[in-house]
A and B are shown apart, each in its own frame.
Chain A
Amino acid sequence: MPGRKKRIVIARRAFVDTLPVMAGYSTMGFAAGVLMAVAGDVPMAPFWAGLCALAFVSGTLSFAIVPAIQSGMGLAGIALLALSINFRYAFYGVSMVESWRGMPFFRKWFLIHSLADEIYALDVSCRLPNVHDRRFYSLCNHAFNFFYWVAGTTAGGIAGASLKLPSKGIEFAMTALFTVIFTDQIKYLCRKN
């Protein structure tokens, strides 16, 4: 753990770096929360939206689980859905194994638990030379983004459950999300080869 002054500097830097993600996470989370709330047959929707955000830290799964729950999909089906959606997370850790080795138990588990797309991208792009500084940067980065995501989703759940938002067709947000991820990946592969 770096010294107090340095911690403040790193935390401030992490906060500035996460600002663009804040815009994305809070709005996407809001949409996911609204989706969960307008699904209709989920009691206490804000709670469930928040819990999903807390447990998955994966926007894709938060979106995809809503129609699954609605249609009463079996638990094996949900496991398969989660497996296929979040398959890519199994490869994110690979580049983190070295720098997170030997961290305190809870911090490491929190970092692993909240290892999602944008958070991972920020972790990787961090160019601090000292490994302890990098770890602290990762911790701040994960904590900030985790908070944006959970808060956004819960707020969306509350808004969707209490306000009469025009919600017809909002389930398209999931398709749009997948389309954008797909376009990005295809573009990335094309540029690489």
Chain B
Amino acid sequence: MQEKLIYLFSAVAVGWAVTFALRLLPFGLFARSSRKTQTSLAKFGEIVSPVVIGGLIVYSFSTLKLDGAPAWRTFWPYLAVALTVALHLLFRNSLASIAGGTVFYMLLVGFLGCTSLPSSIEFDARNPVVRISGAGVTFAGQFVAPEKVPRLLRHYDIPLERTIHIHISGGLHDLRPARQLMAILCRAGYRRPVLVTERTARSEAVKPDTGKFVRPPVEPRRKVYR
């Protein structure tokens, strides 16, 4: 708690120091420079700021999340951005454009339940599945080296206490890579990695529309190795 407060205070202090220093800059540094230098500086600023703001749009896209998964892979944020730009070009009222775009996005993801693209529905942050097949390890549709799986899970904000299914494809009879992966996850602090074979995994499928975890029937549970 105390560490957190110190961190927050120092974050605000750093932000303030940098911002204030930037504002102070012309009064100290350029106060005595010639008018020509000042106009060229102002011109430089005019060109630099759209570039910076463009970069910030990309940054803010990377922070958008939908149920723990990055939202830039879906097209809802792009729709909302398009609406924001259209509103702004039409009415030239910043407040209306920002509010319109944000409310539209909130409606999309909050009330209309637009979460992810149909193609990526297999990834659900509440029920993460790491798949092992003869070709290698995949998570959320992408191939990943076994030792990099914890980092990927952290990237998707999956908490340590969540059950992580290590799904072994039907063709794979060697359990050693799966057990190695389990050890890697345990070492990284994930408390509940579970090995699942093809059959149990199918019975433990997640309902895509609700995202709810369906309890498997008792029978295939014998196939789960802990």
Chain A interfacial positions (CB closer than 8 Å to B) = 23-24, 27-28, 31, 41-43, 48, 51-52, 55-58, 60-61, 63-65, 67-69, 71-73, 75, 78-79, 81-97, 100-101, 112-113, 115, 166, 168-186, 188-189
Contacts and interface: CB of A to CB of B under 8 A. Distances in A.
Contacts, number: 207
A87 B22 contact: yes
B81 A175 contact: yes
A82 B18 contact: yes
Contacts of A177: 98
A174 B99 CA distance: 11
B15 A82 contact: yes
10 contacts: A82-B14, A90-B23, A93-B30, A112-B27, A166-B106, A175-B61, A175-B80, A175-B81, A176-B101, A179-B85
A175 B24 contact: no
Most chain B C-beta atoms within 10 Å of own C-beta, residue among A41, A42, A69, A85: A85
A10 B106 CA distance: 42
A24 B14 CA distance: 26
Contacts of B41: 91, 94
Contact of B110 (A87, A93, A168): A168
A94 B38 contact: yes
B93 to A, nearest CB: 9
A37 B193 CA distance: 33
Nearest to A92: B23
Task: Report the 4 A-B pairs with minimum CB-CB distance, sorted nearest first.
Answer: A91-B45, A93-B26, A55-B16, A67-B63
B57 A56 contact: no
B75 interface: no
Given A87-B52, A97-B31, A171-B63, 15 more contacts: A24-B95, A31-B102, A75-B14, A85-B56, A88-B45, A88-B48, A93-B27, A93-B30, A100-B27, A112-B23, A166-B106, A169-B105, A175-B64, A175-B77, A182-B53
B16 A56 contact: yes
B56 to A, nearest CB: 5
A88 B1 CA distance: 35
| Majority secondary structure of chain B interface residues (helix, strand, loop or mixed) | helix
B211 interface: no
Interface string B7-38: 11011111111111011111100110000001
A115 B19 CA distance: 10
Contacts of A113: 20, 23
A185 B106 contact: no
Chain B, interface residues (CB within 8 Å), range: 35 or more
A184 B89 CA distance: 9
Nearest to B39: A94
A129 to B, nearest CB: 21
B18 A86 contact: yes
Contacts of B4: 41, 43
B6 to A, nearest CB: 11
Contacts of A112: 20, 23-24, 27
B11 A78 contact: yes
Contacts of B25: 90, 93
A93 B55 CA distance: 24
A33 B63 CA distance: 17
B220 to A, nearest CB: 35
B60 interface: yes
B164 to A, nearest CB: 21
A182 B61 CA distance: 14
Contact of A168 (B7, B19, B88, B106): B106
Nearest to A83: B18
Contact of B15 (A61, A166, A175): A61
Given A75-B14, A89-B22, A172-B77, A166 B85 contact: no
